[in-house]
Amino acid sequence: MKVRIAFFSIFLLFTSILFAQPLTNSDYAVYIKQYKAIAIKEMQLYKIPASITLAQGMIESGCGKSTLAVKSKNHFGIKCQKDWKGDTFYYDDDAKDECFRKYNAVEDSYRDHSIFLSTRPRYAALFTLKITDYKGWAIGLKQAGYATNPDYSNILIRLIEKNQLYQFDDPTLTQSEDVAINGPEEDDATVEKQESAVIQATPGNNNRLIFRKDYRFPGPSDFEFSYTSEEGRKVYTNLGVPFIFVKKGDTWFNIAKEFNIFARQVYKQNDLLQSDPIRPGQIIYLEPKKKKNSQRTYKVKEGDSMYSISQEKCVKLAKLLKYNKLKQGDEPYPGVELKLSRW
């Protein structure tokens, strides 16, 4: 009996500490105001309902107040896993000293959450649902094993409805006070207009330079048309290697699904990481690039980067760096003549 009383006392002490400062309506309101624009932006890019993203963020981070959220800016409780190369944070969860992903900013956590869901096959069925079907998403996440709590889907649904988060899933919205909502996916005529468009600098993961701010994407007229996919997308070739131009809303997952290949295969054969952003008008190869280009040399122009050159010339970035005795991060000045092959 003494043992039972002692255990019960410890249990009461634990629960009183755990819920000493329960979340209030104000906590939820502040979280929504602070992160709704990010959730909407992720919905634009990755087709995950903003309501689901926000609700999951609230639950997993305690509205941004959990130890994991405060110390590692991890709002979704994503653990390290084998493919994680970034910073880590060790924390007692289901087991002692579990490895969690650590981010430089909360926005990075949101992006990683989008990539996590959109590139894992077990969540693929969710992306066939309507963007407004938050109930279907909630149930599907639980069925796919996202959380061990048997009531997880109901918790998500109640949180979404209580805070009216479903309003952020409305596809008819054209803008919010914080972020513009993308319109319909571009067709190839729209992409051709990218030839003269100037884009912002796009650093990749670990601050790798992908595109300079004054880089201009090449257009379809610069390449040979090959065929049209079953979903109506035009495929072009460069040195015989098929590729597409990225459209608004594209993700590694939907590109891979359209062409029946693996998402990992798509970003790796384009010398990118899973966490790197992709932009409308960008070239994405559907097969591995070449080891060399018969053109043999190339004079660097304003706006070029080693990455943009490797894509335009269809040469693996590692080979391009090796031929020119450069290392990752080295960027040549305009006018420099680069080797596109060993000889």
Residue 187, both tokens: 């067709």
Residue reference for tokens 């295969």: 265
Give the pLDDT of residue 310: 95
Give the pLDDT of residue 185: 37
d(CA 228, CA 62): 47
Please give the C-alpha separations between residue 204 and each of 30, 121, 214, 273, in angstroms, as whole numbers: 30, 24, 16, 8
Give the pLDDT of residue 202: 54
Give the pLDDT of residue 200: 41
Please give the C-alpha separations between residue 126 and each of 81, 131, 149, 329, in angstroms, as whole numbers: 22, 10, 19, 38
Q: Kindly state the DSSP code that residue 194 receives in the 8-state scheme.
A: G
B/e letters for 89-111, b = 16+ CB within 10 Å, e = fewer, are bebeeeeeeeebbbbeebbbbbb
pTM over 0.85: no
d(CA 87, CA 283): 30
Q: In the chain, where does the domain assigned CATH 1.10.530.10 lie?
A: 24-169
Please give the C-alpha separations between residue 47 and each of 33, 122, 294, 333, in angstroms, as whole numbers: 21, 16, 40, 39
CATH-assigned architecture of domain 24-169:
Orthogonal Bundle (1.10)
- Return left, alpha or beta for 239; rule: phi > 0 is left, psi -120 to 50 is alpha, else beta: left
d(CA 302, CA 240): 27
Spatial CA neighbour of 298 closest among 329, 341, 327: 341
Give the pLDDT of residue 194: 36
Mean pLDDT, contiguous 10-residue spans, the chain (343 residues): 30 30 81 93 88 95 91 90 83 74 91 89 92 94 90 93 91 45 36 36 61 86 92 94 94 93 92 89 95 91 91 95 86 85 82
Give the pLDDT of residue 12: 29
